Amino acid sequence: MSVTTIAADRSVCAPLPVLGRDVTVPLVTGGEVTYAALDYAASAPALQRVWDDVAAYAPYYGSVHRGAGYLSQLSTDLFENSRAAVSEFLDCREGDQVVFTRSTTDSLNLLAGALPAGCQVFVFETEHHASLLPWRDARVTYLNAPRTPGQAVETLERALADRDPYGPALVCVTGASNVTGELWPVRELAAAAHAHGARIVLDAAQLAPHHPVSVRELDVDWVAFSGHKLYAPFGSGVLAGRADWLKDAEPYLAGGGASRKVARRADGGVDVEWHTTAARHEAGSPNVIGVYAIASACRALTEAGFDTLVAREQYLIGKVREGLAEVPEVKVLSLFGDDAPRVGVISFVVKGWNSSHFAAALSAEYGIGVRDGLFCAHPLVRTLLGGEREDIGECGAPDGGTTALNAIRVSFGAGTPDEHVDRFVRAVKELVRDGARWNYRTEDGRCVPDRG
Ligand SMILES: Cc1ncc(COP(=O)(O)O)c(C=O)c1O
């Protein structure tokens, strides 16, 4: 779809109101400008609706699962209703469990601790470290980066065909890359996993904020995501899916809430009966505000209509990609090519620029917040930068001697106004054409404006 076609649809959907939309920041060159938050892939701003819901609940805050008082009961209801709201948002199956965690990283570590004995894990090297690293105690097979979605399925099928066919196995895959924004063929990978008797967990940290996720339709066994990327930055995350491995596993944390009954034994020790529900892995007082915020975000996105949100985001993606394509010095990083379906996450490098310098100039001279680095997906970014290794000095100084082995990432979503992406494209063009208007220096390995 071209930018102009989507522009016609766009009138039905303005950006969703988010906190910070009117915040101004100083420019190093003088004056102030409205902050353009273009780092949604790291943490998205809170939806105004989420903030309002949290503020409305805050006076009624009370302990969850532990109090006889009215506000404790109300808070417990709110917590459990939030579980139901998340289950509905993810279109979970009958019998699936929603466990509240701190984040995607926490969710995947919880699942890693619940793997049955002898479980083999299959993971693409292209994953975020949160998906790549938690499987320390398992036999892990790291799969090479595929260059097409079809190749991803073939690679997985080949690896699964070679595995011990009788033992348990788990595939871990991301729904949308935090580097390229490209969508992975989750349904096909799930079918391949199941055909070989393996299970699959979907890392939806970057997918859920941009796209509807149906556990039932994708036929994944678990899905993990973080509240702070889903416009609900109050410290909670989700692991949802099959109950069996979780109910048989050691509790993630040992303590109150996870235990149903604790008694002293005659020999002086302690016997514990653990819950077999989600509570088994939710020991300690739960973060009811964080959980309620996630449920509120789920409702807000569903009510806004994902079709409209997706259409608007595709329109913004078109603007950014078309703008960057007009700058020959810019190379956009991609695994699956130009036509791959994607969310609003775009990484690139600029010829002759240290990425940290470029990101610093976007911030200091244009009030635009992006990220530079390897985005906690070192193997993937290194693969994508493979042919692009250039020695570029720190902060652009030709003899600085550092290797510009990192990239710049711009990312956006439901709260992003047109002006932010328009300003970004203009800034990239001006910086490449005219250079930075300020001097920068390196401090603790990062470029910062030199105010000395
Ligand atoms: C694809 C992906 N998975 C997992 C994570 C980890 O999320 P969190 O830091 O919220 O645990 C991220 C964070 O950037 C991500 O992009």
Give catalytic residue positions: 376
CB neighbours of residue 322 within 10 Å: 12
Radius of gyration of the chain (CA): 23
The per-residue pLDDT for 397 is: 47
Let me know: does 207 contact 235? Beta carbons within 8 Å.
no
Q: In the prediction, which pLDDT does 406 show?
A: 87
User: Residues near ligand 1 with C-beta < 6 Å?
Assistant: 41, 103-105, 128, 130-131, 174, 178, 203, 205-206, 226, 228, 376
177 touches 195 (CB < 8 A): no
C-alpha of residue 341 to centroid of ligand 1, in Å: 20
**226, 231, 287, 335, best to mutate for ligand 1 pocket (most atoms within 8 Å of CB):** 226
- Atom 16 of ligand 1, nearest CA residue: 178
Q: Is residue 377 a contact partner of residue 319, using CB atoms and an 8 Å limit?
A: no
Q: Whose CA is nearest to atom 14 of ligand 1?
A: 42
Q: Which atom of ligand 1 is nearest to the CA of 228?
A: 10
From CA 130, how far away is CA 66, in angstroms rounded? 32
- φ, ψ of residue 123 in degrees (nearest 5): -145, 135
| pLDDT tens for each residue of 169-213 | 999 999 999 999 999 999 999 999 999 999 999 999 999 999 999
Query: In testing the pocket of ligand 1, which one of 177, 184, 207, 376 has its CB within 8 Å of the most ligand atoms?
Result: 376
Q: How far is CA 97 from the centre of its chain?
A: 21
Q: What is the DSSP string of 220-258?
A: -SEEEEEGGGTT--SS-EEEEE-SHHHHHSPPSS-STTT
Q: Residue-wise pLDDT tens for the chain (452 aa)?
A: 333 344 444 444 799 999 999 999 999 999 999 999 999 999 999 999 999 999 999 999 999 998 889 999 999 999 999 999 999 999 999 999 999 999 999 999 999 999 999 999 999 999 999 999 999 878 999 999 999 999 999 999 999 998 888 899 999 999 999 999 999 999 999 999 999 999 999 999 999 999 999 999 999 999 999 999 999 999 999 999 999 999 999 999 999 999 999 999 999 999 999 999 999 999 999 999 999 999 999 999 999 999 999 999 999 999 999 999 999 999 999 999 999 999 999 999 999 998 999 999 999 999 999 999 889 998 999 889 885 455 455 565 443 334 457 899 999 999 999 999 999 999 999 999 999 999 999 888 789 999 87
Q: Which residue has the least CA distance to atom 12 on ligand 1?
A: 205
- What's the rounded Cα separation, in Å, for the pair 212 and 214? 7
Q: State the Cα–Cα distance between residues 268 and 272, nearest whole angstrom.
A: 13
- Model confidence pLDDT, tens digit, residues 52-98: 999 999 999 999 998 889 999 999 999 999 999 999 999 999 999 99
Helix axes 48-57 and 288-304, enclosed angle (nearest 10): 140
Ligand 1 pocket: which of 229, 287, 335, 375 to mutate (most atoms <8 Å of CB)?
229
